Amino acid sequence: MTIRNRISGQFTLIVASILILFSLIIYGTSARYRQAEFYERLKRKARTTVRYLIEVKEIDRDLLKIIDQNTLAALINEKVLIFDERNQLIYASVDDQVIHYRPSLLDQIRQQEQIETTDGENEVVGLLYQERGRPLVVLASAYDQFGKSELRNLRRTLIWGLFGGIGMTVALGFFFAGKSLQPIADINRQVQTITARDLRQRLDEGRRRDEIDQLAININSVLERLEQAFEQQRSFVSHASHELRTPLTALKTEIQLGLRRRLSAGEYETVLHNLMFDTNRLIALSNSLLLLARPLENVGHMRSEVVRLDEIVFSAQAELLNAYPHYRVQVDYDTPPETEIDAYVKGNETLLRRMVLNLLDNACKYSVAHCAWVRICMDGKTCCLTIRDEGIGMTADEQAHIFEPFYRADGALNFDGFGVGLSVCQRVVDFHQGTIAVASEPGQGSLFIVTLPRA
């Protein structure tokens, strides 16, 4: 069911219920008023008749009957009956019709003094009248032709009004629901033309006032973010394939060299060493790309546990010096930890070691002396690492970009690297809810500060 049909259906249901309720109230109230008025009329008739008969000496029963039957205002089926205390009929305004009454009704009137009831289609009123200590019961009944025909007309008018009202509500509800939903239909049409290949399209934001305009604005901002994300992904893929090609080309050249002619054992060994070196570079690059391409929570088995940050630093130092024995890394404590608990952080050991390794590698790589100084500081809430070098440094402009994937400062192009190490560091720090900052001066050196929450 479309929203348009649902809205017009609900609207019709509400209006129809209100119309029916009002019609019932109007009809019910009119019917009650009619009956009350008619009873009042019958009571007046009953009182007048009994007063004429008893109090006006000049009028006897036959005269009264003639008067009753010839009154202009006589009602249809009108009957007035008067009974004495022994239920003997002492007066009847009609004589050619059969007079129905229940004796129990007379007793009821004597008890209640006044009664309003119905007899078939006729309304009946009973009154107790005291004539010099003698209780007389007067019964007056008639058919309210005028009132009932008025009521029938009212009922017909209400029923037609109801059908007309409901019909109009359906038509108007359908029309206005369609009109109100038109902007959504427009948005639908525009959204259908947007594809992953062309995310530059934007929806019409109208006059930016109502909820639908707001929806268009929000969809546009989602499209904006999607377009940026697609753009980043495209550039990531193109950078990644470019960076992968370099070591692969080197590998191919080495292999071609080995195949071109028969080499001596020593030359083969050199080729194999070179192949090993390039393969390691490829493995390192693909590992970094993997860490950048997916949320860290989804990469491998990234369990978080309580780990000692200083031990991670020492193990990264050992790993680096093992690969590059000519590097120098000096590790110091700001204040040595009193207990091992002081250096505990909650995190993933593999990721944290990778981060420290990247920072130490950069510090040694980008300085002529290949030296790095690490300081471990702890306070009540955080564990902090500072990695300092006296290398080439960076300008403020370069510092603003170094955490972007594949960015390499001009001064770094003479050094080996892919431009992904610091992006990985940033992701690892984010994953551990920490921060990473840099301070650097070109030609003076750099200082990286990593702060992690303590376990």
Binding residues for ligand ADP, per CB under 6 A?
358, 362-363, 366, 389, 391-394, 402, 407-409, 412, 417-423, 446
Give the residue nearest to ligand ADP (CB): 417
327: left (phi over 0), alpha (psi -120 to 50) or beta: beta
Query: Other CB atoms closer than 10 Å to residue 132's CB: what's the count?
Result: 5
Closer residue to ligand ADP in complex, CB, 4/427? 427
Q: How far is the CB of 243 from ligand ADP (least distance, A)?
A: 9
Q: How far is the CB of 404 from ligand ADP (least distance, A)?
A: 9
Closer residue to ligand ADP in complex, CB, 187/422? 422
Closer residue to ligand ADP in complex, CB, 83/366? 366
Q: How far is the CB of 236 from ligand ADP (least distance, A)?
A: 14
Q: How far is the CB of 437 from ligand ADP (least distance, A)?
A: 13
Closer residue to ligand ADP in complex, CB, 310/389? 389
Burial label for 240, CB within 10 Å (0-12, 13-18, 19+), is buried
Q: How far is the CB of 237 from ligand ADP (least distance, A)?
A: 18
Residues 344, 156: Cα–Cα separation, whole Å: 88
Name residue 440's beta-bridge partners: 446
Q: Report the first-to-last Cα separation within the chain, whole angstroms.
A: 55
Residues 51, 406: Cα–Cα separation, whole Å: 117
Query: Other CB atoms closer than 10 Å to residue 365's CB: what's the count?
Result: 19
In angstroms, what CA-CA distances link 354 with 113, 359, 374, 402? Answer: 107, 9, 15, 17
Per the CB < 8 A criterion, the answer to whether 241 and 289 are in contact is no
Q: Which two tokens stand for residue 197?
A: 């290949």
Closer residue to ligand ADP in complex, CB, 142/284? 284
Q: How far is the CB of 196 from ligand ADP (least distance, A)?
A: 29
Helices (H), 366-420: 396-399
Q: How far is the CB of 392 from ligand ADP (least distance, A)?
A: 5
Largest CA distance in the chain: 161
Closer residue to ligand ADP in complex, CB, 388/454? 388
Q: How far is the CB of 324 from ligand ADP (least distance, A)?
A: 14
Which of 11, 365, 351, 300 has the alpha carbon at shortest distance from 181? Answer: 11
* Angle formed at CA 446 by CA 443 and CA 449, multiple of 5 degrees: 170
Closer residue to ligand ADP in complex, CB, 183/442? 442
Closer residue to ligand ADP in complex, CB, 316/402? 402
DSSP for 192-246, written as a single string: HT-BTTB-------TTS-SHHHHHHHHHHHHHHHHHHHHHHHHHHHHHHHHHHHH
Dihedral angle computed from the Cα positions of residues 211, 216, 221 and 222, in that order, rounded to the nearest 10 degrees:
100
Closer residue to ligand ADP in complex, CB, 104/414? 414
Q: Which two tokens stand for residue 120?
A: 């078939």
Q: How far is the CB of 6 from ligand ADP (least distance, A)?
A: 56
Q: How far is the CB of 292 from ligand ADP (least distance, A)?
A: 10
Q: How far is the CB of 426 from ligand ADP (least distance, A)?
A: 9
DSSP for 250-288, written as a single string: HHHHHHHHHHHSPPPHHHHHHHHHHHHHHHHHHHHHHHH
Contact partners, residue 370, CB within 8 Å, separation at least 6: 324, 326, 327, 328, 364
Closer residue to ligand ADP in complex, CB, 143/407? 407
Q: How far is the CB of 194 from ligand ADP (least distance, A)?
A: 35
Closer residue to ligand ADP in complex, CB, 203/387? 387
Closer residue to ligand ADP in complex, CB, 187/284? 284
